Amino acid sequence: MNEGRGGGGDRHGLPARRRQGQPLGLVPPRSSSPHRAALLPHLRPARREAGNHLKLKLGESEWTSSSADEPCQPHLNSCFSSRKGHSHVRMHAQEERVFPGLAELLPKVATDDRTVIITSVNEAWAAPGSLLDLFRGSFRDGEGIAHLLNHTLIVAVDAAAYHHCRRVHPHCYLLEVEATAMNLSSASDFMSGAYLELVWAKLELQQRVLQLGHSFLFTDVDVVWLRDPFRHIGVHADMAVSCDIYSGDADALDGNWPNTGFYYVKATARTVEMMRRWRAARWRFPRAHEQTIFNQIKHELASADGGLRLRFQFLDTARFGGFCRLFHNDMARACTMHANCCFGLEKKLSDLRDVLGQWKNYTAMTPPERRNVGWRVPAKCGTPDKRARTGPGS
């Protein structure tokens, strides 16, 4: 495999002339901003296709599409759309870059229905014995999910992480994050400048994945997988997202506290626009991370007034668990366990190893033995849910 970015493709960027299957021809001038390495798309004149009408207003960069609810079709440019009436988006000020080699890599990773699992790592998380090894090992220890590793793209945010990834995994992509005076190779503190730079770069890449016609399931690398999550993601959902707190109603915008460490997004023109608005909202909420901002704008994204009418599914913590509300997690139904509400790499590593140990013991039991088994309180991380019960259903 080519040692270049993404295991193939031009390490130095795309040529100006469009490749076969590329959504847009690109002239890639470099950004003058010292904090962005974004490439500016060269917008071609509007054109008509059967069932797909695009309108481009270059002065305001407001794009509309009559097929916003259809799956993205990159060869028809149907993934590049925006709606009028949202001046806060300010598309003309938001640069978008193309990620070299990504378009060639995604078909090698995707499932038959063009879905990709994505996680991201830095050097600290990708080092031998760290979170990446635990993450990959959970697929092998889970129930019938080892094959999903073949459809997992690991995004490395520094060269050392990319090197570690290439040693253990076939599908790695190097994402260059502009982080002046920041160290993204360390176990970055939550809400540090380096952390924020990382998560916004992550969203930019995810938007590009959608534009290329691929749905994705993003998972933080501190989530261990136990069973197949796709069986519990509704076909109606534009986006399905895990929760720190789950209200009991999967459709309710209020009462569910989303956790963007695990979410699925279907590739349509509307979800591309969702990612654009989510990223643009960064400037409305300075110093907030993407999870807080998503919670702030979820009503706008679902509203008919906003033009998107996105359908969200909030995932039950009984299946998609985490340390935030451990006693709402059901081992008999668990698909994932997230080391959320926990700060510090060593704490996460210790307690996730224990989670996998408990899981192995559980799967070795007979069905009658499993009935009264629940998760132990994480020894290092603890849990905000302090009830002194470890049985299921509490």
**In the chain, beta strands by DSSP E:** 48-49, 52-57, 62-65, 115-121, 152-156, 172-174, 215-219, 223-225, 239-245, 257-265, 312-314, 320-322, 336-338
pLDDT for 174 equals 97
Q: pLDDT-derived band of residue 179, with 50, 70 and 90 as boundaries?
A: low
Q: What is the mean pLDDT of residues 296-323?
A: 95
Q: pTM of this prediction? A: 0.76
Map out the domains of the chain with their CATH numbers. Answer: 102-314 (3.90.550), 317-394 (no CATH)
Average pLDDT, the chain: 78
Nearest CA among 20, 66, 21, 18 for reference residue 41? 18
- Give the residue-averaged pLDDT of 143-148: 98
Question: Nearest Cα to 24, choosing from 38, 40, 48?
Answer: 40
pLDDT given for residue 74 in this prediction = 56
For the stretch 211-254, pLDDT in tens is 999 999 999 999 999 999 999 999 999 999 999 999 999 999 99
Q: What's the rounded Cα separation, in Å, for the pair 310 and 287?
A: 26
Would the pLDDT of 19 be above 90?
no
| Residue 198 near residue 157 (C-beta atoms within 8 A) | yes
193, two tokens: 């400048």
- Helix (H) / strand (E) element for 356: namely helix 345-364
Torsion angle (degrees, nearest 10) of CA 80, 66, 269, 51: -90
Q: Which tokens sit at 70?
A: 């259809």
Please check the confidence at residue 49 and state whether its pLDDT lies above 80: no
- 94-103, 311-320, 327-336, 361-370, range with the lowest pLDDT: 94-103
Q: Report how far residue 204's alpha carbon sits from residue 218's, in angstroms, rounded to the nearest whole number.
A: 13
Tokens describing residue 163: 């090197």
